A = this chain, B = another copy of it.
Amino acid sequence: MSKSLTLRNFTNSPAVLMGVLLSFLEVKWLIEKKVEYKPLSVKTLLTSIKNISELTVDLAYSAVLFNDAELREEVLELEEYVDYLIYLLFMSASFAVRDKEDAERMAGIMKLAMAANRISDAAGDIASTIVRGEGLRILAHAFSKTEERIMRVVISKGSPLCNKRIDSLRGQLGVDVIVIRRRGRLLINPKESAKLIAGDAVIIRGTDKSVQEFKKIAEENVDEK
């Protein structure tokens, strides 16, 4: 019996390798919250983690630049959501591991996901930075991309934007819808054919003028007139 507990056998165990990985996760969040397991493929999870982590960087710089509290809140929520996806990825990856080769393969995927997680963590730090005065002028120069603006807007009931396709908005208002948050679900880079509905919180990208115009129409209530 004692023979099977040598260090060599021990480290060859996929479960132990995964356990070692988990210890590197630093997902304090896991300990703090009860998390529900949802079966999603490793491929789907890794794609989401990558896309959301890249998105958070863009949103975070806009949140600072425009001192936008709603955008800041969105970044912090997305950052937490990435933590949750990392947890699901670890579960799905563990289930897929049958031998040492599988474990090594999954270790690469986990390493990437954790680096992507650190990117979204850094985005959270960026979003929660407050800069004022001269600092803001320096920032505006460093972080402005051809006067592009990102904004979070909620579509009100009775807004003319309800039932509008996303691609028609690009043509009419010059605005890209990059995220739709609908009843707690998150749609990143939604399909061209997706339609907006009342209550959607959307993140849009465009010139300052075009996003302001979008916001105005989103908050209009035609029914009340």
Contact = CB atoms under 8 A, between A and B. Distances in A.
A46 interface: yes
Chain copies in the assembled complex: 2
Contact of A138 (B42, B64, B138): B42
Contacts of A139: 46, 109, 112
A50 B135 contact: no
A15 interface: no
Interface in A191-211: none
A125 B135 contact: no
Contacts of A142: 43, 46-47, 50
B129 A108 contact: yes
Instruction: Report, as a range, how many residues of chain A touch the other chain.
Output: 35 or more
A100 interface: no
Interface stretch (A5-13, A113-121, A165-173, A180-188): A113-121
A43 B136 CA distance: 10
B106 A135 contact: yes
A154 interface: no
